[in-house]
Structure 1
Amino acid sequence: MSPLLRNRTFVLWLIGTAQSQFGSALAGIALSFLVLHQTGSAGQMALTLALTLLPNLLMPLAGALVDRWPLKRPLIGAELLRGVLQLTVGGLALVWGEVPVWLVNAAAVLTGLAGLFAGPAASAAVPVLVAPDHLAQANGLLGSVGRGAWLLGTLAGGWLVATWSPPVAIVADGVSFLVMAVLLGWVALPDRPAPPSAPMSLWGDLQAGLQVMRRSRLLVVAPVIALLLNASLAPVTAVLPKLFETLGGAATGYSLFLALESAGLLAAGLVIVKVGHRRAPTRLISLGLMVTALGYAALWQWPVTGVLLPGAALLGFGFGLINIPFQTLLQQQVPQAYLGRVFGVLGMVSSTGMPLSLLLVSPLLDRFPLPAWFGLAALAQGLGWLAWQWGRRPTQPAERVLGAL
């Protein structure tokens, strides 16, 4: 048995993450089809998704606060707030039959604000839960188990939407966030090392995090690639439900696409658990960018169900080879006292691409051929691969970064 699975605290963290991912998958499908069924517009659905992500513009400031607080505080608070919001939207939809779009959008903004703190805090927590030698395996396990739960959630979400209704799935998601909050209460998180200098103003703390990033070529290029890739992913995410409706698949086809994508991510996580400690994260990321570029190109050329579904698994595998090693690479390169700020900056830059892209293209989604957005994503992945080759050149290790501050 892996030493990680004998670590009670890590196992609780693993179970809680899986529970939250399961509920989030349910709500992702439910919210998409709730808005689509009420408005009939892919553009309106894109706007709702954009409002969920727009608060991420403030994530660097949230990351600076995370580095000042005990990690449990932002983690549990975010789970409780998101749970209450989902239960409110789902409950009102069950009672009223339809929820005004403005109310759905308001809940989307508040959900995004809660996620501001959960993202950097969760990424900063892993290095204090496991030994440095087990980071790659821990991230691989978290990625594979989380995506396995997401896979079950997408299958259950499609069934619930088709058999019952979107509000039922949204309520289930709210319950999952509350369960995660309870599990987090049982997790023992050791204190992180203090920063090498005394706390400054919030803006000063943020500048110190940016200085850490400027000292490393990889940390400079990582946000650029994340921005490029998420900006291209946004319209693809928005047009998929409508594309499956034109193909006759509706909610079932869309949920199956997401399930197969999650299966690919799960497979990538298992591969990283097995070989991640023997393979440089930079090489795995490069391979993932190539795989996703080819996957999007195939969907662009052949936008039919027989290609969309296996293409989803290929894309998921590529995403796993990018995202999981990215987590490990940053956790290895960045001192623990700065992890909240660095992950906050990276999360803001990458997430900004999606809402801004959605806001810009939402008026165009219903006017251009849907497969054209796959071609755009393939181009963005290819450009990301080229940028990563530049970023992979030798860079300063974390010790030299610290010494230069």
Structure 2
Amino acid sequence: MSSPLWNRSFILWLLGTAQSQFGSALAGIALSFLVLHQTGSAGQMALTLACTLLPNLLMPLAGTLVDRWPLKWPLLGADVVRGLLQLTVGSLALVWGEVPAGLINGAAVLSGLAGLFAGPATSAAVPALVAPDQLAKANGLLGSIGRGAWLLGTLAGGWIVTRWSPPVAILADGLSFLGMAVLLTWVKLPHRPVDRETPTRFWAELQAGVQLMGRSRLLMLAPLIALLLNASLAPVTAILPKLFGTLGASATGYGTFLALESAGLLLAGVMIVKFGERVRPVQLIGAGLLLTAMTYAALWQWPRTTILLAGAVLLGGGFGLINMPFQTLLHQRVPQAYLGRVFSVLGMVSSIGMPLSLLLVSPWLDLLPLTLWFGVAALAQGLGWLAWRWGLRSEPVQDTGLNYQSSS
């Protein structure tokens, strides 16, 4: 008999997540260097990344629909669409040699639109796969195994780009999305509880999700902190490939950085699986914010290859301490019937900072010192830590968080 955690559907979910993360890591490096090789501009790379993220403005609408549908539908559809898009871009790059920027950015927008449904659905599915007391371990396992696969993908991506070409890695990503879709057909997701308190009108359902978040100051504060952090980290994401190029490391150095960052995330996931039940999620989130702030400050002061690579491990660990416990915090605080809406509202507010920041700073990325953006990120992470500490003082939190299911 399967345990509450190690059941067939959850194991398939882990395998599918790992496969998708491996392919996405390949494509992340490949797309960055495809644009960089064609244009030589960090600003153009930032514009392509912004096109992928701008559809997040519509995420609350997608989340409301996700709460109406069986979770498999948006997950399967998103994986098939993104897989076909990646196969199209990769094939055209192989045939034409150079893909027009408009086509790349158009595919990025469509991929972002598909991701609108996949993100909330993926987060909402976890409580349906495992028992409530296994949520911390489940999120830790998903984060660590997914990042382990990402680590392998980044190492392979840097090697494939250097030895062959970016289009080959993009094609591999397309196949990984289609592979995830196949695995999803074998996953059994039980029916989620239905929200019977809210009228079955689209806008009323969306409003109910926002009102639920308003019951907790931390839930209202978290996306605002993420908005600030993502807005400051976006330029760092865009300048890293060019920075490694100036240091003589190019695609191999950038791939190694991402791999080491994934190793840090993997380590954080392992620690959460082992010790997560002993430490409150809110404490882990605060520790992650402080760690990333200190690491970015060090990279600003000493922007050398060895320091960058060492910092990548610490950044990954910090990101893991922020993201994985926050997933658990939401799973503990929000009824399952509302998860799609709450995750989508949080995702929209937090992610809008990155595309807007990229659009605003892209003209300046090639003009200002590249390392300046590490200092900006350090300041933003430090402010985020202070805001989180303030939120904890204004709203005392118990170990298990607020239980809205019993208080509603």
Cα deviation, 1:250-288, whole Å, max 9, x if unaligned, reads 000000000000000000000000001111000000100
Aligned partner of 1:379 in structure 2 is 379
Summarize the alignment of residues 336-375 of structure 1 with structure 2, pairs less than 5 Å apart: 336-375=336-375
Alpha-carbon distance, 1:6 to partner: 3.0
Aligned partner of 1:235 in structure 2 is 235
Partners of 2:231 and 2:21 lie apart in 1 by 23
Change (3 A) 1:400 1:74: closer
Aligned partner of 1:93 in structure 2 is 93
Cα deviation, 1:183-232, whole Å, max 9, x if unaligned, reads 00100000101113254321111100000000101111111111011111
The question of whether the paired residues in 2 share the 8 Å contact of 1:144 and 1:265 is answered with yes
Aligned partner of 1:306 in structure 2 is 306
Partners of 2:405 and 2:274 lie apart in 1 by 30
**Secondary structure, counterpart of 1:46 in structure 2:** helix
Aligned partner of 1:296 in structure 2 is 296
Aligned partner of 1:12 in structure 2 is 12
The question of whether the paired residues in 1 share the 8 Å contact of 2:30 and 2:157 is answered with yes
Aligned partner of 2:271 in structure 1 is 271
Partners of 2:192 and 2:381 lie apart in 1 by 36
Partners of 1:367 and 1:389 lie apart in 2 by 36
Partners of 1:395 and 1:42 lie apart in 2 by 43
Partners of 1:345 and 1:198 lie apart in 2 by 17
The question of whether the paired residues in 2 share the 8 Å contact of 1:20 and 1:180 is answered with yes
Structure 1: gaps spanning 5 or more residues: none
Aligned partner of 2:139 in structure 1 is 139
The question of whether the paired residues in 2 share the 8 Å contact of 1:215 and 1:401 is answered with no
Partners of 1:56 and 1:248 lie apart in 2 by 35
Partners of 1:258 and 1:3 lie apart in 2 by 34
Aligned partner of 2:396 in structure 1 is 394
- AA aligned to 1:334 is V
Summarize the alignment of residues 76-91 of structure 1 with structure 2, pairs less than 5 Å apart: 76-91=76-91
Alpha-carbon distance, 1:4 to partner: 5.9
The question of whether the paired residues in 2 share the 8 Å contact of 1:218 and 1:395 is answered with no
- AA aligned to 2:296 is Y
**How many pairs align?**
403
Summarize the alignment of residues 276-287 of structure 1 with structure 2, pairs less than 5 Å apart: 276-287=276-287
- AA aligned to 1:261 is E
Partners of 2:313 and 2:305 lie apart in 1 by 13
Aligned partner of 2:329 in structure 1 is 329
For the pair 1:71 / 2:64, whether they are aligned, the reply is: no
Change (3 A) 1:398 1:196: farther
The question of whether the paired residues in 1 share the 8 Å contact of 2:5 and 2:138 is answered with no
Partners of 1:400 and 1:129 lie apart in 2 by 20
**Secondary structure, counterpart of 1:299 in structure 2:** helix
Aligned partner of 1:59 in structure 2 is 59
Change (3 A) 1:199 1:18: farther
Report the TM-score when normalising by structure 2: 0.97
Aligned partner of 2:106 in structure 1 is 106
The question of whether the paired residues in 2 share the 8 Å contact of 1:59 and 1:345 is answered with yes
**Secondary structure, counterpart of 1:384 in structure 2:** helix
Alpha-carbon distance, 1:394 to partner: 1.6
Alpha-carbon distance, 1:400 to partner: 5.2
**Secondary structure, counterpart of 2:352 in structure 1:** helix
Partners of 1:288 and 1:276 lie apart in 2 by 14
- AA aligned to 1:108 is A
Q: Which range moves more in the overlay, 389-398 or 95-104?
A: 389-398
**Aligned residues: CA RMSD:** 1.3
Change (3 A) 1:148 1:399: closer
Partners of 1:122 and 1:6 lie apart in 2 by 18
Aligned partner of 2:258 in structure 1 is 258
Partners of 1:288 and 1:136 lie apart in 2 by 16
Q: Which range moves more in the overlay, 38-47 or 393-402?
A: 393-402
Partners of 2:143 and 2:73 lie apart in 1 by 23
Alpha-carbon distance, 1:350 to partner: 1.2
Aligned partner of 1:160 in structure 2 is 160
- AA aligned to 1:227 is L
Structure 2: gaps spanning 5 or more residues: none
Partners of 1:243 and 1:92 lie apart in 2 by 28
The question of whether the paired residues in 2 share the 8 Å contact of 1:291 and 1:318 is answered with yes
- AA aligned to 1:359 is L
Partners of 2:322 and 2:61 lie apart in 1 by 25
Aligned partner of 1:174 in structure 2 is 174
The question of whether the paired residues in 1 share the 8 Å contact of 2:17 and 2:146 is answered with yes
The question of whether the paired residues in 2 share the 8 Å contact of 1:216 and 1:395 is answered with no
Alpha-carbon distance, 1:246 to partner: 0.3
- AA aligned to 1:313 is V
Change (3 A) 1:25 1:110: same
Partners of 2:212 and 2:5 lie apart in 1 by 33
Summarize the alignment of residues 179-258 of structure 1 with structure 2, pairs less than 5 Å apart: 179-258=179-258
**Secondary structure, counterpart of 2:31 in structure 1:** helix
- AA aligned to 1:309 is L
Partners of 2:211 and 2:105 lie apart in 1 by 36
The question of whether the paired residues in 2 share the 8 Å contact of 1:22 and 1:150 is answered with yes
Percentage identity across paired residues of the two chains: 75
The question of whether the paired residues in 1 share the 8 Å contact of 2:334 and 2:403 is answered with no
- AA aligned to 2:293 is A
Change (3 A) 1:23 1:104: same
Report the TM-score when normalising by structure 1: 0.97
- AA aligned to 1:218 is L
